[in-house]
Amino acid sequence: MARIYTLVNQKGGVGKTTTAINMGAYLGYYGQRVLLVDLDPQANATSCLGVEKRAVKSGTYEVLIGATPLGAQILHNPRFKLSLLPSSPALAGAEVELVDMAKRETRLRDALEPAKDRYDYILIDCPPSLSLLTINGLVAATHGVLIPVQCEYLALEGLGMLTQTLNRVQAAMFPDLKVRGVVLTMYDGRTKLAMDVVKEVRRFFPDQVFQTIIPRSIRLAEAPSYGQPISIYAPDSNAARAYMALAGEVLGQDGIKIPTLEET
């Protein structure tokens, strides 16, 4: 049964998409069957994996509004060890269309039901908002949310509001919703600020912050323009090692044995 994790932070540009793609690719590298769901009308996860978003005929939007069942839209990339439910600009319309639909908050959860026994991990990449799309992402997160936080000034800004939203969704529709973990991203070890932010975030989320910290890396910023995850674009980089370690940390906490080098 798949573990479904949703990457959420209404703050933009904190590393949600980068983490979904690269942690996902390393979970795949470690032998897990991984589905990445692009729930953002910006379709960054889709583009970053080399799929032209305007050419997507059927994707997250069609699945959400119930035009087609989940299945044929999924693009599997054996080289990346990732499957993708792509997004397209059409998804922006879903926000408005969903409002009048029945079960508007649980549509993604219901749509993903048949995929649960075909994957080990389903990662849902949310847009930078606390919209109905994000609510769908939260309600689908059977095993919790992953919150990327950028190690920069004002890192904690907005986390209070995010926590409130999580509490509200938990109270109103999904009592089992939990924070699976906080991922510190774009860490620059040369600055005192970055070190201070790490301490501050660990104080704000005691025991919920992953040990692995993702460094700021030019390679990570470059990989999307080649349409590749870091595991393919620059597997020997520090950033690749960091995402590999993060995937390992998640697997370890989930009680899944990490295969040895010969087994991968």
Task: Using the minimum distance from each CB to ligand ATP, give the nearer residue, 110 or 249.
Answer: 249
142 binds ligand ATP (CB under 6 A): no
Tell me the pairing of strands 145-150 and 179-187: parallel
Q: Where are the beta strands (DSSP E) in the chain?
A: 3-7, 34-38, 75-77, 82-85, 121-125, 145-150, 179-187, 209-215
Among 2, 8, 14, 124, binds ligand ATP (CB under 6 A): 14
DSSP 72-120: TTPEEETTTTEEEE---TTHHHHHHHHTTSTTTTTHHHHHHGGGTTT-S
From 61-69, 88-96, 114-122, 214-222, span contacting ligand ATP (CB under 6 A)? 214-222
Task: Using the minimum distance from each CB to ligand ATP, give the nearer residue, 14 or 91.
Answer: 14
224 binds, among ligand ATP, Mg ion, none (CB under 5 to 8 A by kind): ligand ATP
Q: What is the per-residue burial (b if ≥16 Cβ within 10 Å, else e) of 186-196?
A: bbeeeeeebee
Residues 6 or more apart whose CB falls under 8 angstroms from that of 162 comprise: 8, 9, 10, 130, 147
128 binds ligand ATP (CB under 6 A): yes
Measuring CA to CA, which residue among 115, 241, 107, 121 is closest to residue 180?
A: 121
DSSP state of 259: P
From 9-17, 115-123, 148-156, 194-202, span contacting Mg ion (CB under 5 A)? 9-17
Task: Using the minimum distance from each CB to ligand ATP, give the nearer residue, 15 or 28.
Answer: 15
14 binds, among ligand ATP, Mg ion, none (CB under 5 to 8 A by kind): ligand ATP
Q: How far is the CB of 262 from ligand ATP (least distance, A)?
A: 30
144 binds, among ligand ATP, Mg ion, none (CB under 5 to 8 A by kind): none
Q: 42 has which bridge partners?
A: none
221 binds ligand ATP (CB under 6 A): yes
Q: How far is the CB of 214 from ligand ATP (least distance, A)?
A: 5
Task: Using the minimum distance from each CB to Mg ion, give the nearer residue, 11 or 16.
Answer: 16
Q: How far is the CB of 22 from Mg ion (least distance, A)?
A: 12
Please state, in angstroms and rounded to a whole number, the distance separating the CA atoms of residues 248 and 254.
Answer: 10
- For residues 27-66, which are near Mg ion according to CB under 5 A? 44
17 binds ligand ATP (CB under 6 A): yes
Please state, in angstroms and as integers, the Cα–Cα distance from residue 79 to each residue in 118, 194, 229, following that order.
Answer: 18, 34, 10
Please state, in angstroms and rounded to a whole number, the distance separating the CA atoms of residues 165 and 36.
Answer: 23
Among 26, 36, 37, 40, binds ligand ATP (CB under 6 A): 40
Instruction: Name the site residues for ligand ATP (rule: CB under 6 A).
Output: 12-18, 40, 44, 128, 185-186, 214, 216-217, 220-221, 224
